[in-house]
Amino acid sequence: MKRRLPRPRELAPLLQFRKPDLNVTRRRLDSALTIEDLRRIAKRRTPKAAFDYTDGAAEEELSLARARQAFRDIEFHPTILRDVAKVDTGATVLGDRVAQPFGIAPTGFTRLMHTEGEIAGAHAAARAGIPFSLSTLGTTSIEQVKAANPHGRNWFQLYMWKDRDRSMALVERAAAAGFDTLLVTVDVPVAGARLRDTRNGMSIPPALTLRTVLDAIPHPRWWFDLLTTEPLSFASLDRWPGTVAQYLDSMFDPTVTFDDLAWIKSQWPNKLVVKGIQTLEDARSVVDLGADGILLSNHGGRQLDRAPVPFHLLPRVAAELGRDTEVLLDTGIMSGADAVAAIALGARFKV
């Protein structure tokens, strides 16, 4: 083989030098291709208590692990020689069109991980054309989320407290702000046993103890953001000078029944979805009650360990009740492939 030196004009197409991006945060996020990539970044950049609160689940975290494994066990059987040149990723959920068949799920204590919290999530949902869900335990108020996403679809997730008047005050505020869907969570009669939080002494707001100060040393940016922005609290509720577990135990109502659910439905003027369905029998009862949708969920494994895997329940519920109500799904979804699997087995929407 005869060798020669390459000519400059032959090298030019191979030289793909680009101007370096000096924004470190943007460069880091652009390199994250999966949710797992983002998880690794978050673990490096946040204190242990904050990361564990977000990443952890109840007790041995079996429910969370099994939910992920359920999606990994699925295989796709594609058909061939079909015209797939035009693909529409949109969906209709609860009567309105959305750009993608998924939305942003409600999360508590959101600003613990990022100082902009729900505001950033609401902005992202507006840009993507998908619903944003605000938790009762959110760190941004109902009115602030509406201001951040004035023309998009905002959903409010409700826990029924022991103090019914406080619960209904939140419902009234969500309705007044134009939230179009109420997610009533029914799988938390008592707070879950989240062992990571207990070991870390997770409190509201995070306390400056010897342990947290030592943990802060590798994470100065997180502490700077925490100490120079609005105090971290549950924006829709009163301040509480104790641990997360103590607060939730003081609020969750173990006496909630289907009668309470019917009462909430009578008070809410828009769409109502019941979140936390884990059996076919309960799904039937909720549909009989007239709910607009059911959300198959075990709370991301954060409340009851060894709970049923929602993805396993999906085909039976969709086959029997899919014509009578909209079947939604959460827990374990980490990629577009997971969303496709859920759609294939009967889910209308994922959060």
Instruction: Assess whether pLDDT exceeds 70 at residue 244.
Output: no
Is 220 annotated as belonging to a binding site? no
Specify if 342 maps to a domain: yes
Task: Please report the pLDDT score of residue 240 as a whole number.
Answer: 56
Q: pLDDT > 70: what percent of the chain?
A: 95
Q: Which of 123, 151, 219, 299 is catalytic?
A: 299
> What separation in angstroms does the CA of 217 have from each of 171, 202, 231, 293?
41, 18, 20, 46
Angle of helix 258-267 relative to helix 280-289, nearest 10 degrees? 40
Q: For residues 139 and 247, which has the higher predicted lDDT (pLDDT)?
A: 139
Instruction: Assess whether pLDDT exceeds 80 at residue 16.
Output: no
Task: Please report the pLDDT score of residue 29 as a whole number.
Answer: 87
Instruction: Assess whether pLDDT exceeds 90 at residue 233.
Output: no
Locus of tokens 């990994």? 72
State how far the Cα of 140 lies from the Cα of 234, in Å rounded to an integer. Answer: 7
Number of domains in the chain: 1
Q: For residues 249 and 319, which has the higher predicted lDDT (pLDDT)?
A: 319
The domain of 345 spans 48-75+90-194+246-350
Report DSSP state, residue 243.
B
Q: Give the number of other Cβ atoms within 10 Å of residue 34's Cβ.
A: 10
Q: For residues 339 and 166, which has the higher predicted lDDT (pLDDT)?
A: 339
Cis peptide before 13 (omega within 30 of 0): no
Specify if 65 maps to a domain: yes
Specify if 31 maps to a domain: no
Alpha helices per DSSP H over 19-153: 24-30, 35-45, 48-55, 62-72, 117-128, 142-148
How sure is the predictor about 25, in pLDDT bands with cuts at 50, 70 and 90?
A: confident
Is 297 annotated as belonging to a binding site? yes
**Average pLDDT of 107-126?**
94
Is 114 noted as a catalytic residue in this protein? no
Task: Please report the pLDDT score of residue 12 as a whole number.
Answer: 75
Specify if 81 maps to a domain: no
If we measure between CA atoms, which residue out of 242, 278, 274 comes closest to residue 256?
274
- Tens-digit pLDDT profile for residues 135-160: 999 999 999 999 999 999 999 999 98
Q: pLDDT > 90: what percent of the chain?
A: 67
Task: Please report, in angstroms and rounded to a whole number, the separation of the first and last CA atoms in the chain.
Answer: 59
Backbone angles phi, psi at 312, to 5 degrees: -70, -35
Task: Please report the pLDDT score of residue 173 as a whole number.
Answer: 96
**Average pLDDT of 289-301?**
97
Is 247 annotated as belonging to a binding site? no
Cβ neighbors of 164 (< 8 A, separation 6 or more) are: none
How sure is the predictor about 307, in pLDDT bands with cuts at 50, 70 and 90?
A: very high
State how far the Cα of 236 lies from the Cα of 53, in Å rounded to an integer. Answer: 20
Q: How is residue 263 written in tokens?
A: 């009462």
> What separation in angstroms does the CA of 97 have from each of 90, 102, 130, 161, 269?
7, 11, 9, 32, 20
Q: How is residue 73 written in tokens?
A: 């066990």
Residue 226 identity: L
**Average pLDDT of 254-272?**
95
Q: How is residue 38 written in tokens?
A: 């983002």
Instruction: Assess whether pLDDT exceeds 90 at residue 133.
Output: yes
Q: Which helix (H) or strand (E) holds 236?
A: none
Specify if 301 maps to a domain: yes
Read off the CATH number of the domain in which 260 is found: 3.20.20.70
Is 219 annotated as belonging to a binding site? no
Q: Which helix (H) or strand (E) holds 133?
A: strand 132-134
- Tens-digit pLDDT profile for residues 167-220: 999 999 999 999 999 999 999 988 888 999 888 887 766 676 777 777 778 888
Task: Please report the pLDDT score of residue 205 as a whole number.
Answer: 65
Task: Please report the pLDDT score of residue 144 as a whole number.
Answer: 96
Task: Please report the pLDDT score of residue 139 as a whole number.
Answer: 93
State how far the Cα of 297 lies from the Cα of 184, in Å rounded to an integer. Answer: 12
Locus of tokens 């390199």? 31
Specify if 82 maps to a domain: no
State how far the Cα of 156 lies from the Cα of 270, in Å rounded to an integer. Answer: 11
Is 312 annotated as belonging to a binding site? no
Read off the pTM. 0.90
Specify if 56 maps to a domain: yes
> What separation in angstroms does the CA of 257 have from each of 199, 249, 262?
33, 18, 9
Task: Please report the pLDDT score of residue 245 as a whole number.
Answer: 63
**Average pLDDT of 212-232?**
85
Specify if 273 maps to a domain: yes
Cite the beta strand spans of 215-290 per DSSP E: 271-277
Task: Please report the pLDDT score of residue 284 as a whole number.
Answer: 98
Instruction: Assess whether pLDDT exceeds 90 at residue 249.
Output: no
Query: Facing residues of 92 across strands?
Result: 97
Q: For residues 349 and 164, which has the higher predicted lDDT (pLDDT)?
A: 164
Is 310 annotated as belonging to a binding site? no
Q: What does the mean pLDDT of the chain come to?
A: 91
